[in-house]
A = this chain, B = another copy of it.
């Protein structure tokens, strides 16, 4: 994957050039994230679960999905940059916590509350 710091630097420049920092408080950025995730969800809402992988490979829908994933990623990086929360550390910390919450022996193969 591309270097995350380089992406964040590009995003900062994009935002600064348009003087959009004023709109990007963390509250608003979570709303941006929610609205972009809504668009991503829309791509799969009428697709059956067992057709969702094929839908993700089809050229036309894949392009739209990648586009929405790009939007979601942008919103998430903007939020992390604004709050100073390191995304990689947050993921690693949560994964460690989930290892404790979902021990292999009890969680194996159960959909109840998997991550």
Q: Indicate how many identical chains form the complex.
A: 4
Chain A residues with CB under 8 Å of chain B are 1-5, 7, 10-11, 14-15, 17-20, 22-23, 25-28, 30-50, 52-53, 55-57, 62, 65-67, 69-74, 76-77, 79-80, 82-95, 97-99, 102, 104, 107-109, 111-112, 114-115
Q: Are A7 and B90 in contact (CB under 8 A)?
A: no
Ranked nearest first, the 6 interchain pairs of A and B with the lowest CB-CB distance are A38-B38, A70-B94, A2-B88, A31-B45, A35-B42, A70-B90
Say whether A115 contacts B30, CB under 8 Å: no
Q: A1-B5, A1-B87, A114-B20 are in contact. Are A25 and B41 (CB under 8 A)?
A: no
Task: Report whether B46 and A28 are in contact in the complex, using a CB–CB cutoff of 8 Å.
Answer: yes
